[in-house]
Chains A and B, each alone.
Chain A
Amino acid sequence: IAGITQAPTSQILAAGRRMTLRCTQDMRHNAMYWYRQDLGLGLRLIHYSNTAGTTGKGEVPDGYSVSRANTDDFPLTLASAVPSQTSVYFCASSPLGWDSALSGANVLTFGAGSRLTVL
């Protein structure tokens, strides 16, 4: 079944530890995104990637890094986790790039989310 797979589903880790959230899509979408969702706030963009080999910073990038070695995978790494990074993380993808001028055709597909608790 085509879609996005995120792992882990849930994780508790100690502050200061390194953590990588995995995201894989099989739809051959160009663009991929990482969002965090916190109570009372809308989804906020952490990092994005237009296409394999390129990445960009979103609204809340500090403390996070990403890589896009190929079309399918877009891991999110917390180099040294802090309690404020406790959140639910969603990976998403779309068939068109971040800078695309085309309108109305950009379907957005989400993963199931990864709940991260930093103690």
Chain B
Amino acid sequence: KNEVEQSPQNLTAQEGEFITINCSYSVGISALHWLQQHPGGGIVSLFMLSSGKKKHGRLIATINIQEKHSSLHITASHPRDSAVYICAVRSNTGNQFYFGTGTSLTVIP
């Protein structure tokens, strides 16, 4: 049983396309994170959300607490956006983080 489910698992897009990655979770959370794992393996935090929407450059993250769902959008995608995007949630019992298996994005020039 996975507490965090992501879709799609793999995504290929043409440069310039609008991209959406979805995340659903089944536990009560205090925060949701979107992480980016570069082809070299390093993991960086893109967003931390507890409600609403955040924007950073071409990246937009939204969360619907009632529906236990979050989306990560990339506008005007670029080949340098190619990476694995991981959704993670922090349980509201304060116990641990749960991670999705990631969405592998490839943006073709």
Contact = CB atoms under 8 A, between A and B. Distances in A.
Interface of A: 33, 35, 40-45, 48, 58, 88, 90, 97-110, 112-113, 115
B31 A43 contact: no
Interface footprint category on B = 20 to 34
Contact of B86 (A42, A44, A45): A42
The B interface, classified by DSSP as helix, strand, loop or mixed, is strand
A45 B96 contact: yes
Contacts of B2: 42
Contacts of A58: 96
A18 to B, nearest CB: 24
A99 B41 contact: no
Contact of B43 (A90, A99, A101, A105): A90
Nearest to A101: B94
